[in-house]
Amino acid sequence: MLAFLARRLAAAVLLLFVISFLSFLLLSLAQVDVARQLLGLQASASAVAHENAALGLDRPLLARYADWLGSAVRGNLGTSWFTGQDVAQTIGQRLPVTLSLVLATTVVTAIASLALGLWAGTRRGVADRIVQILGVAGYALPGFLVTLLIVVVFGVDLKWFPATGYIPITRSFTGWLSTITLPTLALSLGAVAGLSQQVRSAVAAVAAQDYVRTLRARGLSGRSVVLKHVLRGACAPALTVLGLQFVGLLGGAVVVEDIFALPGIGAMTVADTSDGDVPVIMALVMVSVIGVVLINLAVDLLIGLLNPKARLT
């Protein structure tokens, strides 16, 4: 198990390095005239050149990347070119909002998908068709449209939950729950549609195995067979899909946070990407990548525990 973990950690570190370099390279190639934006169109050429030198933009690409990497490893993500604020501190203030949204969505997605997939995979017939129809509908409906409908119906018309805004969980749990419910619902619908289909297929495949039929023939109850054997065999592929969906959840969080006016890193991404604020963009990219890497590492470890053969890969 330790060798398996070491291989995954080494691959994760290499992936972070490659993505950081490629991101820095692409941002440098596509970089706009930041100094001109900061100083205004009327600024003289000498003033623009001085500002570029102050930002370090007159230095070679590799030298700038080496400086950024060395600082990032020590936890220093630099300062925003446009606001002068510490990037790490700014992200630290917004990250809990996005984390609470994504984690709540992941929990809801896992529970709902597991329940629907088990129901459809073990009962088949009408239950199977209902889950398939729900899955197709979840895929077909545009996420942006579904989010707007949720806001209008539950936030504006029925007024069951706040349509916008956010209350930290440290201030009030019930307040946090009320403000996170609609964003979580909007973000989880598409994920449940996909994952429930995966669980359904995996459960049906495992239930058709010879050893499962043997267990049933020995007199074990259906509930015991499903919970102790079928579910264990179906979890590995479902966990893989859940890990892949985490990337989509981060992307969806950008849209959802913008619609529900949540002060997370998604809303920050929309604002700072359009400005070309490289220190902020690089920090956001790396925070997102680290989140994805950690989730997939956790998924790999869980799969390794469920299926020892997976540790050999």
Question: DSSP states of 84-103 as a string?
Answer: --BHHHHHHHHHHHHHHHHH
Does residue 130 sit in helix, strand or coil? helix
pLDDT of residue 182: 92
Domain ranges of the chain: 2-73, 87-312
State the pLDDT at residue 32.
64
User: Which two structure tokens, joined as six digits, stand for 1?
Assistant: 């198990």
Q: Cα–Cα distance between 209 and 121 in angstroms, integer? A: 13
- For 277, other C-beta atoms within 10 Å of its C-beta total 23
117 within 8 A of 309, measured Cβ to Cβ = no
What pLDDT score does 40 carry?
66
Closest CA to 177 of 114, 107, 245: 107
Instruction: Identify the architecture of domain 87-312 in CATH.
Output: Orthogonal Bundle (1.10)
- Per the rule left: phi > 0, alpha: psi between -120 and 50, beta: everything else, 206 is alpha
- What angle separates helix 278-306 from helix 61-73, to the nearest 10 degrees? 60
Bridge partners (DSSP) of residue 111 are none
Task: Measure CA 174 to chain center.
Answer: 24
pLDDT in tens, 204-221: 777 767 666 776 677 666
Parts of the chain with a pLDDT under 70: 1, 30-33, 36-38, 40-41, 208, 210-212, 215-216, 219-224, 226-229, 231, 272, 274-275, 306-313
Do residues 200 and 117 make contact, with C-beta atoms less than 8 angstroms apart? yes
Angle between helices 278-306 and 2-29 (to 10 degrees): 160
Are 25 and 298 a contacting pair, CB within 8 Å? no
pTM comes to 0.79
The Cα–Cα gap between 169 and 241 comes to 29
Task: Give, in order, the Cα–Cα distances in Å from 135 to each of 116, 234, 294.
Answer: 10, 18, 28
| Confidence (pLDDT) at 184 | 92
HSE-CB for 313 with a 13 A CA cutoff:
8
Helices (H) and strands (E) in the chain, counts: 13, 0
Structure letter (DSSP) for residue 151? I
Closest C-alpha among 253, 108, 91 to residue 183: 253
